[in-house]
Amino acid sequence: MRLILAGVLAGLLSATAAKADEMVFTSWGGTTQEAQTKSWAEPFAASSGIKVLQDGPTDYGKLKAMVDAKNVTWDVVDVEMDFAIKAAKDGLLEPIDFAAVPKADLDPRFSNEHAVGSFYYSFVLAWNKGAVSGEPTSWADMFDTKKFPGKRTFYKWSAPGVIEIALLADGVPADKLYPLDLERAFKKLDTIKSDIVWWGGGAESQQLIASGEAAFGQLW
Protein backbone atom coordinates (compact mmCIF):
# COMPACT_ATOMS: atom_id res chain seq x y z
CA MET A 1 0.00 0.00 0.00
CA ARG A 2 1.09 3.55 -0.59
CA LEU A 3 0.20 6.99 0.64
CA ILE A 4 0.10 9.89 -1.75
CA LEU A 5 1.29 13.43 -1.29
CA ALA A 6 -1.58 15.35 -2.85
CA GLY A 7 -1.11 18.42 -4.96
CA VAL A 8 -1.98 21.91 -3.80
CA LEU A 9 -5.63 22.27 -2.92
CA ALA A 10 -7.99 24.07 -5.24
CA GLY A 11 -8.51 27.61 -4.09
CA LEU A 12 -4.98 27.96 -2.79
CA LEU A 13 -4.69 31.45 -4.23
CA SER A 14 -7.56 32.73 -2.13
CA ALA A 15 -6.90 35.37 0.52
CA THR A 16 -7.06 32.75 3.25
CA ALA A 17 -4.29 30.59 1.83
CA ALA A 18 -0.81 30.49 3.32
CA LYS A 19 1.56 33.37 2.71
CA ALA A 20 4.09 33.12 -0.12
CA ASP A 21 6.93 32.67 2.37
CA GLU A 22 5.26 29.79 4.20
CA MET A 23 3.17 26.70 3.51
CA VAL A 24 1.00 24.30 5.49
CA PHE A 25 1.70 20.57 5.33
CA THR A 26 -1.03 18.29 6.65
CA SER A 27 -0.58 14.64 7.54
CA TRP A 28 -1.82 11.92 9.87
CA GLY A 29 -0.06 12.82 13.10
CA GLY A 30 1.92 10.54 15.40
CA THR A 31 5.36 9.22 14.54
CA THR A 32 4.53 9.34 10.82
CA GLN A 33 4.24 13.10 10.77
CA GLU A 34 7.21 13.48 13.10
CA ALA A 35 9.33 11.58 10.57
CA GLN A 36 7.94 13.62 7.67
CA THR A 37 8.76 16.83 9.51
CA LYS A 38 12.33 15.75 10.14
CA SER A 39 13.01 14.16 6.75
CA TRP A 40 11.04 16.43 4.42
CA ALA A 41 9.78 19.66 5.95
CA GLU A 42 12.87 20.77 7.83
CA PRO A 43 15.34 20.15 4.94
CA PHE A 44 12.94 21.84 2.50
CA ALA A 45 12.58 24.86 4.76
CA ALA A 46 16.35 25.13 5.17
CA SER A 47 17.04 24.99 1.43
CA SER A 48 14.13 27.11 0.21
CA GLY A 49 13.64 29.63 2.98
CA ILE A 50 9.94 28.74 3.02
CA LYS A 51 8.57 28.05 6.49
CA VAL A 52 6.61 24.80 6.72
CA LEU A 53 3.74 24.83 9.19
CA GLN A 54 2.31 21.51 10.38
CA ASP A 55 -1.37 20.62 10.69
CA GLY A 56 -3.45 17.48 10.95
CA PRO A 57 -4.68 14.90 11.11
CA THR A 58 -5.69 14.49 7.47
CA ASP A 59 -9.46 14.70 7.23
CA TYR A 60 -11.11 14.22 3.84
CA GLY A 61 -14.36 15.85 4.88
CA LYS A 62 -12.51 18.91 6.17
CA LEU A 63 -10.46 19.12 2.99
CA LYS A 64 -13.57 19.20 0.82
CA ALA A 65 -15.29 21.69 3.11
CA MET A 66 -12.32 24.06 2.83
CA VAL A 67 -12.46 24.03 -0.95
CA ASP A 68 -16.25 24.36 -1.08
CA ALA A 69 -16.10 27.33 1.28
CA LYS A 70 -13.15 28.88 -0.59
CA ASN A 71 -11.36 29.08 2.74
CA VAL A 72 -8.32 26.90 2.13
CA THR A 73 -5.59 26.75 4.78
CA TRP A 74 -3.85 23.51 3.71
CA ASP A 75 -1.30 23.56 0.89
CA VAL A 76 0.05 20.00 0.63
CA VAL A 77 -1.80 17.07 2.16
CA ASP A 78 -0.82 13.45 2.75
CA VAL A 79 -3.75 11.34 1.50
CA GLU A 80 -4.36 7.86 0.12
CA MET A 81 -4.28 7.01 -3.58
CA ASP A 82 -7.99 6.29 -3.95
CA PHE A 83 -8.88 9.64 -2.42
CA ALA A 84 -6.29 11.52 -4.49
CA ILE A 85 -7.77 10.18 -7.73
CA LYS A 86 -11.34 11.04 -6.77
CA ALA A 87 -10.42 14.42 -5.31
CA ALA A 88 -8.72 15.40 -8.56
CA LYS A 89 -11.80 14.38 -10.57
CA ASP A 90 -13.99 16.41 -8.19
CA GLY A 91 -11.86 19.52 -8.64
CA LEU A 92 -10.51 19.57 -5.10
CA LEU A 93 -6.83 19.65 -6.11
CA GLU A 94 -4.65 21.97 -8.14
CA PRO A 95 -2.44 20.35 -10.81
CA ILE A 96 1.24 20.05 -9.98
CA ASP A 97 3.48 22.61 -11.67
CA PHE A 98 5.91 20.34 -13.51
CA ALA A 99 7.92 23.36 -14.54
CA ALA A 100 9.02 23.42 -10.90
CA VAL A 101 8.77 19.70 -10.11
CA PRO A 102 11.07 17.44 -12.21
CA LYS A 103 8.56 14.96 -13.61
CA ALA A 104 11.30 12.78 -15.08
CA ASP A 105 12.45 11.95 -11.55
CA LEU A 106 9.03 10.56 -10.57
CA ASP A 107 7.89 6.96 -10.91
CA PRO A 108 5.06 7.14 -13.48
CA ARG A 109 3.28 4.23 -11.77
CA PHE A 110 2.73 6.30 -8.64
CA SER A 111 2.31 9.85 -9.87
CA ASN A 112 -0.18 11.82 -11.90
CA GLU A 113 -1.06 15.44 -12.63
CA HIS A 114 -2.27 16.07 -9.09
CA ALA A 115 -0.39 13.73 -6.74
CA VAL A 116 2.97 12.10 -6.18
CA GLY A 117 3.63 8.82 -4.37
CA SER A 118 5.46 9.49 -1.14
CA PHE A 119 6.14 6.24 0.71
CA TYR A 120 5.23 2.62 1.24
CA TYR A 121 3.57 1.46 4.42
CA SER A 122 1.93 -1.61 5.91
CA PHE A 123 -0.47 -2.44 8.72
CA VAL A 124 0.62 -4.59 11.64
CA LEU A 125 -1.19 -6.25 14.51
CA ALA A 126 -0.36 -4.38 17.72
CA TRP A 127 -1.49 -4.92 21.29
CA ASN A 128 -1.12 -3.54 24.78
CA LYS A 129 0.78 -6.11 26.85
CA GLY A 130 -0.78 -4.83 30.04
CA ALA A 131 -4.27 -5.38 28.66
CA VAL A 132 -3.74 -8.76 27.02
CA SER A 133 -3.16 -12.19 28.47
CA GLY A 134 -0.83 -14.02 26.11
CA GLU A 135 0.38 -12.91 22.71
CA PRO A 136 -1.75 -13.00 19.53
CA THR A 137 0.01 -14.41 16.48
CA SER A 138 -2.43 -13.77 13.63
CA TRP A 139 -5.31 -11.58 12.47
CA ALA A 140 -7.61 -14.44 13.40
CA ASP A 141 -6.67 -13.86 17.07
CA MET A 142 -7.95 -10.31 16.74
CA PHE A 143 -11.40 -11.76 16.06
CA ASP A 144 -11.25 -14.31 18.89
CA THR A 145 -12.84 -12.39 21.74
CA LYS A 146 -13.08 -15.48 23.98
CA LYS A 147 -9.36 -16.21 23.89
CA PHE A 148 -8.39 -12.53 23.75
CA PRO A 149 -11.12 -10.36 25.33
CA GLY A 150 -11.08 -6.58 24.96
CA LYS A 151 -11.76 -3.84 22.47
CA ARG A 152 -10.21 -3.94 19.00
CA THR A 153 -9.32 -0.88 16.94
CA PHE A 154 -9.37 -0.65 13.15
CA TYR A 155 -8.72 2.12 10.64
CA LYS A 156 -12.12 3.62 9.82
CA TRP A 157 -11.54 3.80 6.06
CA SER A 158 -12.19 0.49 4.33
CA ALA A 159 -9.97 0.94 1.26
CA PRO A 160 -6.57 0.36 2.89
CA GLY A 161 -6.49 -2.87 4.84
CA VAL A 162 -9.48 -3.61 7.04
CA ILE A 163 -11.33 -5.66 4.40
CA GLU A 164 -8.23 -7.75 3.72
CA ILE A 165 -7.66 -8.24 7.45
CA ALA A 166 -11.19 -9.53 7.97
CA LEU A 167 -10.84 -11.98 5.07
CA LEU A 168 -7.44 -13.21 6.24
CA ALA A 169 -8.92 -13.75 9.70
CA ASP A 170 -11.74 -15.73 8.10
CA GLY A 171 -9.30 -18.09 6.44
CA VAL A 172 -8.86 -16.64 2.96
CA PRO A 173 -5.27 -17.26 1.73
CA ALA A 174 -3.27 -14.09 1.06
CA ASP A 175 -2.83 -14.97 -2.61
CA LYS A 176 -6.60 -15.46 -3.03
CA LEU A 177 -7.80 -12.16 -1.56
CA TYR A 178 -8.61 -10.39 -4.81
CA PRO A 179 -11.21 -9.64 -5.97
CA LEU A 180 -12.33 -8.91 -2.42
CA ASP A 181 -15.40 -10.73 -1.12
CA LEU A 182 -17.04 -7.76 0.58
CA GLU A 183 -20.04 -9.68 1.89
CA ARG A 184 -17.80 -12.21 3.59
CA ALA A 185 -15.55 -9.47 5.02
CA PHE A 186 -18.43 -7.48 6.51
CA LYS A 187 -19.96 -10.66 7.92
CA LYS A 188 -16.67 -11.36 9.67
CA LEU A 189 -16.42 -7.82 11.02
CA ASP A 190 -19.97 -8.13 12.34
CA THR A 191 -18.84 -10.95 14.63
CA ILE A 192 -16.90 -8.42 16.74
CA LYS A 193 -18.91 -5.29 15.87
CA SER A 194 -19.60 -4.37 19.49
CA ASP A 195 -15.88 -4.60 20.35
CA ILE A 196 -14.56 -2.35 17.54
CA VAL A 197 -13.22 1.16 18.16
CA TRP A 198 -12.50 2.97 14.89
CA TRP A 199 -9.52 5.29 14.49
CA GLY A 200 -8.88 7.95 11.87
CA GLY A 201 -5.27 9.06 12.39
CA GLY A 202 -1.89 7.71 13.42
CA ALA A 203 -1.70 9.49 16.76
CA GLU A 204 -5.20 8.33 17.66
CA SER A 205 -4.42 4.69 16.85
CA GLN A 206 -1.32 4.74 19.04
CA GLN A 207 -3.14 6.41 21.91
CA LEU A 208 -5.96 3.84 21.85
CA ILE A 209 -3.44 1.03 22.31
CA ALA A 210 -1.18 2.85 24.77
CA SER A 211 -4.08 3.81 27.02
CA GLY A 212 -5.54 0.32 26.97
CA GLU A 213 -8.87 1.59 25.62
CA ALA A 214 -8.30 -0.96 22.87
CA ALA A 215 -6.39 -4.13 23.67
CA PHE A 216 -5.57 -4.88 20.04
CA GLY A 217 -5.18 -2.74 16.97
CA GLN A 218 -4.55 -2.47 13.27
CA LEU A 219 -1.72 0.09 13.24
CA TRP A 220 0.62 1.59 10.66
Q: Report the C-alpha gap between 207 and 141 in whole angstroms.
A: 21
Find all residues with CB under 8 Å of 218, minimum gap 6, and list them: 123, 124, 125, 126, 142, 153, 154, 155, 161, 162, 165, 205
Q: Are strands 22-26 and 76-80 parallel, antiparallel or unpaired?
A: parallel
Q: How far is CA 148 from CA 144, 193, 198, 216, in A?
A: 6, 15, 18, 9
Q: How far is CA 85 from CA 56, 60, 94, 187, 196, in A?
A: 21, 13, 12, 29, 29
Summarize pLDDT for 49-69 with one digit per residue, the tens.
999 999 998 999 999 999 999
Kindly indicate the confidence band of residue 15, based on its pLDDT and cuts at 50, 70 and 90. Answer: very low
Summarize pLDDT for 166-178 with one digit per residue, the tens.
999 999 999 999 9
Structural domains in the chain, sorted by start: 2-120 (3.40.190.10), 124-219 (3.40.190.10)
3-state helix, strand, coil in the chain (%, to 5): 40, 20, 40
Phi, psi angles (nearest 5°) of residue 157: -90, 130
Q: Report the C-alpha gap between 152 and 131 in whole angstroms.
A: 11
Q: Which H/E stretch holds residue 4?
A: strand 2-6
DSSP 78-97: EEEHHHHHHHHHTT-BPPP-
Exposed/middle/buried for 201, CB within 10 Å: 0-12, 13-18, 19+? buried
Summarize pLDDT for 97-119 with one digit per residue, the tens.
888 888 899 888 889 999 998 88
The percentage of the chain sitting over the pLDDT mark of 70, rounded to a whole number, equals: 90
